């Protein structure tokens, strides 16, 4: 049996910190470099902040029938599935309103704050009217790599892209690896054990004090996807208008409810990513009812009144 050694790569991509850690043999040592290259390539193809790439061409296309890449076809299939599963709460067509409230560039390039002019404040009535008239995911039809796309339909992959690429890497590059940690900011998928320990310990931060860890989720050797979604980190101010990057698809405006952040645990990173945002948008009561129906999933909800709710099976993951 070949000896393994814990190896890692850290770099910036997809608007966040990427961390790839795995216990590899000498014959597997190049896996991390291949995975890094795949992530950087995925960003070039699907970031909405880059002009002329694959996502931009899809969004700007006037053709009603398109042939897309295998990755885009799979992403569109996942988008339709989760759009329907969440009753439209997961909705990538919020891209227009994300741009309109101020999230037009990668967050590290934004400069909204006290110096913004009052004239920059979005017209919320107009925003909602435009949002109601947008092209819907319901009208998107897919058959393999052939897509029937309504004219004007645009999508943002920010709510699923990071989970998708690390899930894909775990299947394609790490299938023969027992122990790994693939993290893209708040989205990660882990398997097996950290060197010398049982499982991996995932820190859950205090949303009111992000530098402070409240507790850890121990994965107990399982393959799990974990994602956190909240309204604090990616936020700004446009004149007197305060915004964040979670758009409520029922109103077209930045979300307002009783939740500050949600950490979701599921069988893969895409499910965790989508479920975290869905629970966040639904609010405490509806969100808990939603996750209760998912036997492979759990969540931790932090409310604005500084209470936390672990529901329903999340206790088995806590350390």
Q: What is the mean pLDDT of residues 119-137?
A: 75
Average pLDDT over all residues of the chain: 86
CATH superfamily name and code, 5-317: ApbE-like domains (3.10.520.10)
* pLDDT band at residue 122 using 50, 70 and 90 as cut-offs: low
In the predicted structure, residue 108 carries a pLDDT above the cut 50: no
CA distances from 21 to 30, 35, 177, 193, 267 (A): 12, 11, 11, 11, 19
Please provide the DSSP assignment of 186-217 as one string. TEEEEEE--TTSSS-EEEEEETTEEEEEEEEE
Q: What is the mean pLDDT of residues 171-196?
A: 94
pTM over 0.95: no
* Stretch among 250-259, 281-290, 294-303 having the lowest mean pLDDT: 250-259
Q: What is the mean pLDDT of residues 81-86?
A: 97
Residues 6+ apart with CB under 8 A from 50: 43, 44, 56
Cβ atoms of 71 and 44 within 8 Å: the answer is no
Q: What is the mean pLDDT of residues 155-167?
A: 95
Q: What is the mean pLDDT of residues 199-214?
A: 88
In the predicted structure, residue 244 carries a pLDDT above the cut 80: no
Which has the closest alpha carbon to 189: 276, 270, 274?
270
Q: Are strands 201-206 and 5-13 parallel, antiparallel or unpaired?
A: unpaired
In the predicted structure, residue 124 carries a pLDDT above the cut 90: no
For residue 292, give the 3-state DSSP assignment: helix
Residue 231 tokens read as 């309204």
* Bigger pLDDT: 186 vs 45: 45
* Stretch among 102-111, 273-282, 302-311 having the lowest mean pLDDT: 102-111
* Stretch among 14-28, 133-147, 157-171, 297-311 having the lowest mean pLDDT: 297-311
* pLDDT digit string, tens, across residues 31-76: 999 999 999 999 999 999 899 999 999 999 999 999 999 999 999 9
Q: What is the CB neighbour count within 10 angstroms for residue 19?
A: 15
- pLDDT given at position 149: 94
* pLDDT digit string, tens, across residues 210-237: 788 988 999 999 999 999 998 876 444 5
* pLDDT digit string, tens, across residues 247-271: 888 888 888 888 889 999 999 999 9
* pLDDT band at residue 91 using 50, 70 and 90 as cut-offs: very high
In the predicted structure, residue 304 carries a pLDDT above the cut 90: no
Q: What is d(CA 46, CA 53) in angstroms, rounded to the nearest whole number?
A: 7
Q: What is the mean pLDDT of residues 277-292?
A: 94
């Amino acid at each position: 049996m070949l000896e393994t050694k814990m190896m890692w790569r850290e770099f910036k991509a997809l608007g966040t910190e990427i961390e790839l850690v795995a216990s590899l043999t000498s014959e597997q040592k190049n896996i991390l470099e291949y995975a890094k290259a795949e992530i950087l390539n995925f960003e070039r193809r699907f970031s909405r902040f880059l002009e002329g790439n694959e996502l931009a061409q899809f969004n700007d296309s006037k053709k009603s029938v398109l042939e897309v890449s295998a990755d885009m076809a799979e992403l569109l299939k996942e988008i339709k599935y989760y759009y329907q599963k969440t009753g439209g709460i997961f909705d990538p067509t919020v891209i227009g309103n994300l741009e309109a409230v101020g999230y037009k560039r990668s967050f590290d390039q934004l400069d909204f704050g006290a110096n913004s002019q009052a004239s920059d404040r979005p017209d919320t009535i107009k925003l909602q009217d435009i949002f109601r008239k947008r092209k819907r995911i319901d009208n998107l039809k897919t058959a393999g790599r052939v897509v029937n796309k309504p004219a004007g339909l645009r999508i943002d992959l920010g709510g699923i892209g990071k989970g998708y690429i690390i899930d894909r890497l775990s299947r394609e590059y790490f299938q023969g690896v027992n122990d790994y940690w693939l993290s893209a900011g708040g989205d990660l998928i882990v398997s097996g054990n950290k060197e010398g320990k049982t499982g991996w310990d995932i820190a859950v931060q205090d949303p009111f004090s992000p530098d402070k860890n409240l507790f850890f989720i121990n994965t107990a050797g399982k393959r799990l996807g974990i994602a956190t979604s909240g309204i604090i980190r990616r936020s700004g101010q446009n004149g007197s208008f305060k915004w964040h990057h979670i758009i409520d698809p029922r109103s077209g405006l930045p979300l307002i409810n009783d939740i500050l952040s949600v950490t979701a645990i599921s069988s893969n990173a895409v499910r965790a990513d989508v479920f975290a945002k869905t629970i966040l948008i639904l609010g405490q009561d509806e969100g808990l009812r939603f996750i209760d129906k998912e036997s492979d999933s759990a969540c931790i909800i932090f409310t604005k009144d500084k209470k936390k709710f672990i529901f329903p099976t999340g206790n088995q993951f806590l350390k």
